Amino acid sequence: MNFFEALGDGWTIYLWLIIGAMIIAACVYWIRWAAKNEQFDEDIKYLVFDEGDREKMSPQEYAKSREVLASQEQSRVRVLRAQEEEHNKRQN
């Protein structure tokens, strides 16, 4: 406890600055990760619909939901293929 008392007044601001910088760096990292991993997709709301919802939707909405579903399936296949290739690289 004597160490902190010996520091004098004003040392806590530096602690807060360091903690604030760490929080900002973490936020930037996670936002970058989210953008890289397609987490900011506005069309994701269409994935909750299935064939049973066709009569509840307008033809345009239904077409959009099928388009988004096909796009997501392609993305899924691409990601799984990349993961499998990475896994195979590690084993060789």
pLDDT tens-digit series, residues 6-42: 777 788 888 899 999 999 999 999 999 998 887 887 8
Cα(37)–Cα(27) distance, integer angstroms? 15
Domain ranges of the chain: 1-40, 41-92
Q: What is the pTM of this model?
A: 0.56
Of the candidates 29, 63, 59, 34, the one whose C-alpha atom is nearest the C-alpha of residue 46 is 63
Kindly state the DSSP code that residue 83 receives in the 8-state scheme.
Answer: H
Q: What angle do CA 46, 39, 89 make, to 5 degrees?
A: 115
C-alpha distances out from residue 48 to 53, 64, 67, Å: 9, 12, 13
pLDDT at 32: 95
pLDDT at 1: 59
Residue 82 has pLDDT above 80, yes or no: yes
pLDDT tens-digit series, residues 56-66: 888 898 899 89
